[in-house]
Amino acid sequence: MPPTRRSVAAVTTAAAAALLAPVPTAPAALADGPHTPPEVRAEIQALPWPALAEGDSGAVVQAANELLQSYGYLPEQGLGNIFFDEPMADAVRDYQDDRDIPVDGRIGDETWSHIRMDFGVVGRGNRDTKKVTAVQVLLEHNGHSVTGDGIYGPRTENAVIAFQEENSIDADGVVGPITFRALVTGGV
């Protein structure tokens, strides 16, 4: 029996719907290597986030600054702003307000949790130079020699793998939520 117009239209509609449907991706939790022991995940999740406020300085402030630039809350500043200054405090307030979390201009537990969610997963080939630079700054802060150039190439990937191995994270060279928290908090 030859196809009818109705059957051809139904098949065409179904095919179009299938092509337009979102492609399932691995959840961000799997980005830290699927074989990270649950006790390691729990230990890293229990590490306290650093409390940052206006007047603070250092690598973790610089990484947070890079991420706020990536998320559109600070203008492009170039590499090297290690100071939590008034413009950064204002950017944090705007970020907090947009996420309906308490607005105080400080980066504490709840703000870090949102920063981590917005960070997503960063690995080789990532084109968000600000996120990559934040990873590189945090790797350097944790004793791994990498250049803060915003390029997630072999050197950055190898440094991430080494950091993951040092912290008993299943080493896959990708920065997901567990590796991100370990980088920010100094690891286990």
Query: What domains appear along the chain, each with residue ranges and CATH number?
Result: 36-185 (1.10.101.10)
- Spell out the residues 6+ positions from residue 19 whose beta carbon is closer than 8 angstroms to its own: none
* Predicted TM-score (pTM) of this structure: 0.82
The number of residues making up the chain comes to 188
Reported as a single tens digit per residue, the pLDDT across 73-116 is: 998 876 668 899 999 999 999 999 999 999 999 999 999 999 99
Q: Which of 45, 65, 71, 59 is nearest to 107 (CA)?
A: 65
Of 72-76, 139-143, 175-179, which range is least confident? Answer: 72-76
pLDDT at 11 over 50: no
Average pLDDT of the segment spanning 109-126: 95
pLDDT given at position 70: 95
